[in-house]
Chain A
Amino acid sequence: MILNNIEEISYITAAVLFIIGLKKLSSPATARTGNALSGLAMFLAVLVTIVGRTSVTWEWIVIGVAIGVVIGSLSAYFVKMTAMPQMVAIFNGFGGGASGLVAYLEYYNNSGGLITPATSLSVMISVIIGAITFMGSFIAFGKLQGFIPSRPILFPIRNIINGVILIATLSTILWILVDNTHLTPIYAAITFSLILGVLLIIPIGGADMPVVVALLNSYSGIAAAATGFVLENTILIIAGSLVGASGIILTRIMTKAMNRSLANVMLGGFGSQDGSSSPVLQKEERPVTTASASDVAMILEYARSVIIVPGYGLAVAQAQHQLRELSDLLKPKGVSIKYAIHPVAGRMPGHMNVLLAEANVPYDELKDIDEINGEFQRTDVAIVVGANDVTNPVARTDSSSPIFGMPILNVDQAQTVIVLKRSMASGFAGVENELFHLEKTLMLFGDAKNSIEEVISETKDL
């Protein structure tokens, strides 16, 4: 009894620490402490579980934990910051897989005994969401890592096939509620869910992966909470729900930033058409003004305020460090520098901020869309590096454009706009960017890294 109480009290303490830990993520200044508190909560929960149980065997526990510690610490230590989306994706899969396995094993260990319908239902939810998360995350990981083509892979009547499998999956729940004397319904549910995990994610294009990863993040939490229902374990329910809520919020933020519905993302196929079938067909050669690196250096020399707009192209070119070097040169000349970061600038929510933080850009210079959009009209120069669709003014003005209504950065309101870009190719949405054709816009063509290096050396020579 006493031991049981200690366990419950420790779980509640851990839950409180998780909540305080997440609350401290509300500011970069306290976030690191918050993460440490969450880690402490986890340690407490694990410790009390190990102490409180009289396990029959220990060898499986030791082996499993040892392998996990090695894989976890090595991947955390060596992962490149550009590869964070892949890491989070595969970890979501691990979480979902572990939850499903635990729920199944608990059911298996108790089979033959008395199992309530509520337990059966929780097991099925955990196993189904766990298996979908596991396979779906693996596919998302493959697409981000590049061993599965990142373009949408479409197959005929896919929505009908997915619908049928979904119904089959759900009917296994009814099956087990009617007859829980054997394990066949669980095996059927696992098989269907694994297939569903593949089929649901494979038609979704690489650029929509931020939404998918956020959604699977949420699923991994919900699967853990469902396993908590199976084990009647409070800390699993609470921690799982926190993660579930976090994933849902991030999913909503990402779909809103893309001006798409979740259904539209999940049905897949977006961005699979090539430019020829795009509704905006005017591919005529319209004039753009080009600039040289020395022109750019000159303009920056006389600017008082500069906003840098980084996009995923920046990360691809690995030009963050050069960009920071350039701003370090300009700051002593009295130029104020800020970074305008669109929610979909990277490959996952907040990705660009991490990449810039890695390049030593102070976080108080990183501004999100709502903070910065009013400032463009008071800014001398906006530099766009590797961003496209999120700067296209037609999203505000042209109701016939496919990106109409998408929240964009008001780059066109700056006095002068400098765009660093490899070519005139259109962005992910296949829409031509009106920004490039404005009179105030100067195009500096070339690889972003080389271009910025040239601007740096020109600035030094001034």
Chain B
Amino acid sequence: MESLLISATIFILAIFVGYEIITKVPPTLHTPLMSGSNAISGIVIVGAILVAGQVSNPLSGLLATIALTFATTNVIGGFMVTDRMLKMFKRTKDKEK
């Protein structure tokens, strides 16, 4: 029960922190924000590594592999495509150089 309370505390505080920082992201960056948060939700890769190390039969192994594939795709694809987009955002000044 205690661990549930700790988890719940972290969850609620993190939601508030997230709300405060993400409100400050300007509309012009909303697409990179979404693809970047795609990458961050790939954090479940950590969970996938944990369960994939404990599998006891081939079916579970297959499911764990699928989970890892999904999560890794999110992480790698998300961060890379976000970087590709953010690279394109330039100011007038930067262009004249």
Contacts and interface: CB of A to CB of B under 8 A. Distances in A.
B87 to A, nearest CB: 7
Given A31-B89, A363-B90, A61 B52 contact: yes
22 contacts: A38-B36, A45-B43, A45-B46, A50-B49, A57-B61, A60-B61, A67-B73, A68-B69, A75-B77, A101-B70, A217-B34, A229-B4, A229-B11, A232-B3, A236-B43, A242-B18, A348-B30, A350-B34, A351-B31, A353-B29, A354-B88, A357-B89
B80 to A, nearest CB: 3
Interface stretch (A77-85, A181-189, A262-270): A77-85
A242 B31 contact: no
Given A84-B35, A98-B45, A350-B32, A67 B72 contact: yes
A105 B44 contact: no
A214 B34 contact: yes
Residue from B17, B28, B56, B92 with most neighbouring chain A CB atoms (10 Å): B28
A234 B46 CA distance: 11
Nearest to A102: B47
A86 to B, nearest CB: 12
Contact of A362 (B42, B61, B91): B91
Interface string B1-40: 1011001001100111111011111111111111111111
A214 B49 CA distance: 27
Interface stretch (A149-157, A169-177, A243-251, A297-305): A243-251
A349 B37 contact: no
Contacts of A81: 85
Nearest to B46: A49
A6 B94 CA distance: 42
B35 A224 contact: no
Interface stretch (A88-96, A281-289, A308-316, A400-408): A88-96
Contacts of A237: 7, 10-11, 14
A202 B20 CA distance: 33
A235 interface: yes
A64 B65 contact: yes
Interface string A412-452: 00000000000000000000000000000000000000000
A407 to B, nearest CB: 12
Contacts of B68: 60-61, 63-65, 68, 98
A94 B73 contact: yes
A249 B45 contact: no
Contacts of B41: 92, 95, 99, 217, 220-221, 223-224, 239-240, 243
Contacts of A462: none
A350 B76 contact: no
Given A71-B69, A99-B44, A102-B51, 17 more contacts: A22-B18, A31-B89, A42-B79, A46-B75, A69-B72, A72-B77, A91-B73, A95-B42, A95-B74, A98-B44, A103-B47, A220-B41, A221-B40, A232-B7, A240-B44, A346-B31, A354-B32
Interface residues of B, number: 82
Contacts of A245: 14-19, 22
B53 A68 contact: no
Interface size class of A (residues with CB under 8 A): 35 or more
B80 A72 contact: yes
A19 B17 contact: yes
B37 A242 contact: yes
Contacts of A64: 48, 52, 64-69, 72
Contacts of A349: 27, 30-31, 33-34
A45 B56 CA distance: 25
Nearest to B1: A118
Interface stretch (A271-279, A364-372, A373-381, A390-398): A364-372
Interface in A31-73: 31-32, 35-36, 38-39, 42, 45-46, 49-50, 53-61, 63-65, 67-69, 71-73
A307 B71 CA distance: 42
A460 interface: no
B4 to A, nearest CB: 4
A42 B48 contact: no
Contact of A350 (B21, B30, B42, B46): B30
A102 B31 contact: no
Contacts of A53: 49-50, 53
Given A224-B41, A357-B85, A235 B72 contact: no
A239 B75 CA distance: 12
A238 B15 CA distance: 8
Given A56-B53, A67-B69, A350-B29, A91 B61 contact: no
A64 B69 CA distance: 5
Nearest to B12: A241
A25 B63 CA distance: 35
B9 to A, nearest CB: 10
A19 B40 CA distance: 11
B76 A98 contact: no
Nearest to B32: A31
Nearest to A370: B27
A35 B86 contact: yes
Contacts of B51: 102, 105-106, 109
